[in-house]
Amino acid sequence: MQYKDYYKTLGVARDASQDDIKRSYRKLARKYHPDVSKEPNAETRFKEINEANEVLRDPEKRAAYDSLGNNWRAGQDFRPPPGAGGFHDFKFDADEATDFSDFFASIFGRAFKGEGKDTRRRRGQDQSIKLAISLDDAFNGATRQIKLDVPEIGPGGQRTTRAKTLNVRIPAGVTQGRQIRLAGQGSPGRNGGPAGDLYLEIDLRPHAHFTVEGRDIQLRLPIAPWEAALGATVTVPTLGGSVNLKIPPGSQSGQKLRLKGRGLPGTPAGDEILLLEIVTPPANTDAAKEAYRQMAERLTFNPRAQLGV
């Protein structure tokens, strides 16, 4: 049989922390879940990911796996060392283990290949999905309805799915990548065990005007040359409505101004950062062309002076 590198399967280093393993597992499980994935090998990859996570998520099981040594490579011919296959004191998910590989069974014993009935209470697995929301929803908070196909275990032990609808409250101030935990809304438990949790990972849709970094938002603000040169008070949009902003005299393109606390809510709230962009009026009329000629004659200005030309 072939050796399975569980660390490589989850895309983590051998010294990865439990948090690193959890994050990588959730990301991969979401990508390859057969109910949602478009990948051609999704079902096979999903089984491999679950098997690797079943071992690495528990320190004792991970230590037993690590005891094989770290010189093995994925795909190498593997023969269990003396004493392997006897770790029967470990508690594994019996239903999931029916899909585990011969390599797994050679280490942890055939009892976990479905040979025997596990009657212990088992907590259901956690699930994770992405939830796309608008930036306005992130600023104001919102309630969204989501529909899921959730796994169930029938009376005969067979796995089925059913549709479920949830009303989810999105708190004001959520940021990109934040996870909202819905307790007990994950996979069902077995033998009377509690259900797992469902994690909603926030994915902010692109906004027509703003870009986001953490709680701060950024806006490219067009201004006229005379507003930049003389200073002006202009109206600018924010997520909470329009406000007046003073442009300092002598402003330049690329200069940044900050509206304190006008980003996403939080403790502290984010800011709105304005990137000034001087826009040149078109010379599309005789009057406009004449105005530019007069500026060229009256203003002694060389924008390339700093280049030495």
**Following CA atoms 159, 160, 163, 165 in sequence, which dihedral angle do they give, to the nearest 10 degrees?**
-20
The whole-angstrom separation of Cα 194 and Cα 172 is 30
Domains along the chain with CATH numbers: 6-112 (1.10.287.110), 127-204 (2.60.260.20), 210-298 (2.60.260.20)
At 58-85, the pLDDT tens digits run: 887 888 788 777 777 776 776 665 555 4
At 4-23, the pLDDT tens digits run: 889 999 999 989 999 999 99
Helices (H), the chain: 6-10, 18-32, 42-56, 59-66, 94-97, 102-108, 135-140, 225-230, 286-298
Say whether pLDDT at 114 is over 60. no
Residue 231 CA: distances (Å) to CA of 202, 256, 259: 40, 14, 17
The bridge status of strand 216-223 relative to strand 210-213 is antiparallel
Say whether pLDDT at 86 is over 70. no
Looking at residue 115, its pLDDT comes to 45
The whole-angstrom separation of Cα 28 and Cα 47 is 11
Average pLDDT over residues 144-148: 88
pLDDT band for position 218 (cuts 50, 70, 90): very high
45: CB partners within 8 A, 6+ apart: 28, 32, 39
- Looking at the DSSP bridge assignments, the partners of residue 256 are 275
Looking at residue 102, its pLDDT comes to 76
Looking up tokens 């009329």 gives 285
Average pLDDT over residues 114-129: 69
Average pLDDT over residues 217-229: 96
User: Interior CA angle at 24 toward 23 and 30, to 5°?
Assistant: 90
Say whether pLDDT at 94 is over 60. no
Looking at residue 157, its pLDDT comes to 55
Which strands form 198-204's sheet, in the order they lie side by side?
127-133, 198-204, 179-182
Q: In the structure encoding, which two tokens stand for residue 276, read together? A: 């000034």
Looking up tokens 């023969």 gives 79
| 239-274: b (≥16 Cβ within 10 Å) or e | beeeeebebeeebeeebebebeebbbbeeeebbbbb
Specify whether the CB–CB gap between 271 and 265 falls below 8 A.
Answer: no
Specify whether the CB–CB gap between 219 and 262 falls below 8 A.
Answer: no
Say whether pLDDT at 260 is over 90. yes
What pTM, to 2 d.p., does this model score?
0.60
